[in-house]
Amino acid sequence: MATLNSMQSGLMAHRRWEDILSMILGAAILISPMFMEPAPSPTVMTVTALAGAAIVVLAGVEQLALRRWEEIMELALGVWVMVAPVALNYGGMLRTWHFVLGACVAALALLELWQDRNRDFARES
């Protein structure tokens, strides 16, 4: 049985599952336009592919060497994926998917930034 202290200590440290989940979310963003009807414009496909691929790469790099800039970039990309439907003027189910997936990426990046707030990255270099 999980106690309140064990649950709190689990949220206090950056965990590998967070990076794996970020990679999964990035992959979902990357492939999401391929399954939507009608097919989105080539611009939407390209922008989505770049954002999704960048999230996957950043989350993968975080597993090798954890740095604050990686999480800040993931946060920015998550916000961009949420804003992209408005900026690029596309709608339908893809708009909903991108809003939800972008919000998940941004929330996860915020959690990781919060967990690492007291970490001394200078000593780990």
Q: How many alpha carbons lie under 13 Å from residue 23 in its C-beta half-sphere? A: 12
Distance CA 3, CA 1 (A): 6
The predicted model scores a pTM of 0.82
Distance CA 96, CA 85 (A): 9
Domain boundaries, the chain: 15-119
10 Å Cβ neighbour count for 5?
Answer: 8
Whose tokens are 């709608």? That residue is: 91
- pLDDT tens series, the chain, 125 aa: 455 454 445 555 667 889 999 999 999 999 998 888 788 899 999 999 999 999 999 999 988 887 888 999 999 999 999 999 999 999 889 999 999 999 999 999 999 888 887 766 555 44
Distance CA 4, CA 32 (A): 37
